[in-house]
Amino acid sequence: MPKIMLHNSQARRALARGVYRLAAAVEPTLGPKGMDAMIDRPIGTPMVTRDGVSIASEIELHDRFENMGAQVVREVSMQTNEVAGDGTTTAIVLANALIQGGIEANERGAKSVDLCKGIDRAVAAVVTALKASAKPAKGNGILASVANIAATDARLGALVAEAHERVGAEGVITTDFSVTTETTLDVLEGMSFDRGYLSHHMVTDQEKMEAVLERPLILMTDLKIKDPKALETARRIADEAGRPLLIVSEEVSPEVVVTLLGKQGSGKYLIVHPPEYGHWRKAMMEDLAIITGGKVIARDLGGRLEVITAEDLGTAERVRTSASYTSIIRGGGDHAAIASRRAQVQRQYEAAPPNIEQDKLRERLAKLSGGTAILYAGGVTPVEQKRTIQLIEDSLNAVRAASEEGVVAGGGSALAQIAPLLDKV
């Protein structure tokens, strides 16, 4: 395919036009009185949003040179979203101003190297001024105000602030679609993960379709349990202690499940699969062992179920399991060991790049801290539900940023107040 080339001023102006056109679509959404954008999609319902990165990611310009400029600014918004989780519209507005102003200065004779040095000095001065003017977001009142403004809805903001308060700064807050028109908050106690019981015959509460074990012993293993005899030792230990047994295992054969069901009334034995996959599953199993005070009977360490002792089994005050989730409440692990594990995961989280690995480490931190909340987005239509989820996520990101680095005047006004300082740089 032949290449079309532009050079010098002609190329710069084409790229700048693309940047301007993308920014023009995003800028009206800035601030508390920003407008919504409605985006047609080839599959599914239209998207209604005020999120800068969401709008930018949907824009493709017909002119290929202009589109390259738009893609550069789109990348700016995506990186801002990955690092800060918010402020993507502001990032696009600033990038557009820098690019348009820089090209004009360059065409008036300014050197590109000098422009870059000046921008670096200005950025350093602005960051210093912003940090100096930031006020710590201490107290739930300030965080609630931040959540309300970001969500543009008092009820959504209140739910986000409540979720953040109940699970803490290290907790995990996720979103999902509600089966009703109402937006609700559900906080899961203890260490929770999205795996449920293997058989509904293990249910102890028929009304809620949950299996609840009181003061269970907990067997954790990555071994495949194919023979019922492999569990005889664990069953004997549990029977002698007069306590139910929770089995967390990667694979349990139907024969084993049938055997356990045949030897119990509901509530004596419960089987669930461990959370996650691959190396994340191994790490999560080790976290679970530390929280409950047990050990993982691991294949790569030569573990055998037939020779386990009571010390290998974890404990908890209660285990609650549905068809889709498991909560282990008040595990019997040593507090010092849990704190040490949490500090180790915290160091890994701080060193990880902002990608899925960091997200998984944050989830592990929350589980080690005992906090997981789910905000279910309600709405009359799928479009409304998607819009609600976006507002919740914007509000969550704003609250997290505020709790970490404080608050300044929003809607671009903090930058406007600082702007006169640049004359002295």
Query: Is 154's pLDDT higher than 90?
Result: no
As given in the structure block, the two tokens for residue 10 are 């002609």
* E strands, 253-370, in order: 269-272, 296-297, 314-321, 326-331
CATH code of the domain occupying 8-110: 1.10.560.10
Question: Domain map of the chain by residue range?
Answer: 8-110, 140-190+370-405, 192-333
- 391 sits in which H/E element: helix 382-405
Q: Band of the pLDDT at 9, cuts 50, 70, 90?
A: confident
Q: Are 408 and 130 in contact (CB under 8 A)?
A: yes
Looking at residue 15, its amino acid is L
Q: What is the structure's pLDDT at 297?
A: 93
Q: What is the structure's pLDDT at 357?
A: 84
Q: What is the structure's pLDDT at 272?
A: 92
Q: What is the structure's pLDDT at 114?
A: 92
**In CATH, what class is 140-190+370-405?**
alpha beta
Query: Is 148's pLDDT higher than 90?
Result: no
Percent of the chain with pLDDT over 70: 97
Q: Which residues contact 109 (CB under 8 A, 6 or more apart)?
A: none
- Three-class secondary structure of residue 319 per DSSP: strand
Phi, psi (deg, nearest 5) at residue 24: -65, -30
Q: How far is CA 215 from CA 161, 218, 277, 372, 394, in A?
A: 33, 10, 28, 22, 40
CATH code of the domain occupying 192-333: 3.50.7.10
Query: Is 230's pLDDT higher than 70?
Result: yes
Query: Is 395's pLDDT higher than 80?
Result: yes
Q: What is the structure's pLDDT at 1?
A: 62
Query: Is 410's pLDDT higher than 60?
Result: yes
Across 217-238, average pLDDT? 92
Per 3-state DSSP, the chain is made up of helix, strand and coil in percentages (nearest 5) of 55, 15, 30
Q: Which residues contact 320 (CB under 8 A, 6 or more apart)?
A: 189, 210, 211, 212, 326, 327, 329
Q: Band of the pLDDT at 291, cuts 50, 70, 90?
A: very high
- Computed over every residue of the chain, the mean pLDDT equals 87
Query: Is 249's pLDDT higher than 60?
Result: yes
Across 246-268, average pLDDT? 81
Query: Is 97's pLDDT higher than 90?
Result: yes
| Least confident piece of the model among 12-16, 88-92, 210-214, 261-265 | 261-265
Across 110-134, average pLDDT? 91
The burial of 125, by beta-carbon neighbours within 10 Å (0-12 exposed, 13-18 middle, 19 or more buried), is given as middle
